[in-house]
Amino acid sequence: MKITKAVIPAAGLGTRVLPASKSVPKEMLNIVDKPAIQYLVEECAAAGITDILIITNRGKGVIEDHFDYAFELEENLRKSPAKQALYEAVHSVADLANLYYIRQKETKGLGHAILAAESFVGNEPFAVLYGDDIIYSEGRPVIGQLIDASEKYGKCACGVKTCTTEQVMKYCTLDVTPAEGNIYHVHKIIEKPAREQILSHFSILGRNVVTPDVFDMIRNTAPDPRTGEVYFSEALSTLAENDRLLAVDFIGDRYDMGDKLGILQANVEIALKHPEIGATFRTYIKELAGKL
């Protein structure tokens, strides 16, 4: 079945980037000239996704405003011949996809947030993009790479990258066997493994394609006794144990917008590629590096 729906959970508290995220959602923090979440919506649209549900919470209404027309501003830009490109850039954001919103009323973890998407998803397989993971790719968008693998093998898929031992211990480790090229069959996932439990240095980063039966798997997941959060990784783990999950070692650069260093890396690397400021910024960075 063709995948046309995506869910973007963006209801986290963003504690790692406070105070920046106190009144501006971390998903709206800037990367060069666009808020982080616009990169995700553009990734979906470029992969053929037409309908996107963004899971928000109190104080995140500004995300909805960003994907709406801004009549007064746009009229102003439209009237000025010199500002046509800017007008297009502002106006077209609202037409990237059909956007829907629902609130996660309590911040009870990523799995709990995804449950709010059940009626939007219906009976179709769907994509999940974590709202604070930006993945920059010059070729096929990363969620498209997962969709291709999922459609070819008739399995769910998660995006993975080789991580350092420290990162693996913070995220998760996967037991995999090769399928073809950068695609693997996943047999087991261990969340936050101890060093001696590490099965591979692949960790899941920010992108998944799953089927609607994950909602039952999430409902069967007990909240973590320490944090009270319902994790999504348990559902992925169930898929893996039933031989229903692929890992795609995606082609793209991932930035963690939930982390101060990740935000800076995204800004520097994307600025270097930016058509308007890339060349000047490169000269500046080289000069700066010479002084370090």
Q: Is 127 in the site for ligand UTP (CB under 6 A)?
A: no
Pick between residue 111 and residue 144 the one whose CB is nearest to ligand UTP: 111
Question: Residue 274, exposed/middle/buried by CB under 10 A (0-12, 13-18, 19+)?
Answer: middle
Query: Site size for ligand UTP, by CB under 6 A?
Result: 20
Residues 201-230 that bind ligand UTP (CB under 6 A): none
| Shortest Å, Cβ 223 to ligand UTP | 11
Cβ–Cβ < 8 Å for 17, 260: yes
Contact call for residue 108 and ligand UTP (CB under 6 A): yes
Nearest distance, CB of residue 196 and ligand UTP, angstroms: 26
Quick check: 103 binds ligand UTP (CB under 6 A)?
no
x/- map, 42-61, ligand UTP, by CB under 6 A = -------------x------
Whole-angstrom Cα distance, residue 68 to residue 71? 9
Token duo for residue 24? 């501006």
Q: Which residue type occupies 151?
A: E
14 touches ligand UTP by CB under 6 A = yes
Sort 72 into a burial class: Cβ within 10 Å, 0-12 / 13-18 / 19+. exposed
* CB 63 to ligand UTP: min, Å: 11
The maximal CA–CA distance of the chain, rounded, in angstroms, is 64
Contact window for ligand UTP (CB under 6 A) among 13-21, 90-98, 160-168, 213-221 = 13-21
Q: What is the DSSP letter of 14?
A: -
Task: Select 3 or 55, whichever has its Cβ closest to ligand UTP.
Answer: 55
Number of residue whose CB is nearest ligand UTP: 12
Q: For residue 223, what is the DSSP state? A: P
Contacts (Cβ under 8 Å, ≥6 apart) of 233: 111, 172, 189, 191, 204
Q: What is the DSSP letter of 171?
A: S
Nearer to ligand UTP, 27 or 155 (CB): 27
Residue from 3, 6, 7, 10 binding ligand UTP (CB under 6 A): 10
* Residue 13 within binding range of ligand UTP, rule CB under 6 A: yes
Judged by beta carbon, residue 49 or residue 77, the one nearer ligand UTP is: 49
Nearest CA to 234 out of 262, 270, 204 is that of 204
DSSP assignments along 87-106, one per residue = HHHHHHGGGSSEEEEEE-SS
> Which listed range, 10-18, 43-51, 154-162, 193-201, lies at the site for ligand UTP (CB under 6 A)?
10-18
User: Distance (Å, rounded) from C-alpha 55 to C-alpha 1?
Assistant: 24
User: Which residue, among 152, 142, 132, 158, has the nearest Cα to 37 in the 3D structure?
Assistant: 132
Q: What token pair was written down for 146?
A: 């997962």
When binding is defined by CB under 6 A, the residue of 208, 258, 262, 263 that contacts ligand UTP is 258
Q: 35, 125, 131, 252: which one contacts ligand UTP (CB under 6 A)?
A: 131
Residue 262 touching ligand UTP (CB under 6 A): no
Which residues lie near ligand UTP (CB under 6 A)? 9-16, 55, 104, 107-110, 112-113, 130-132, 258
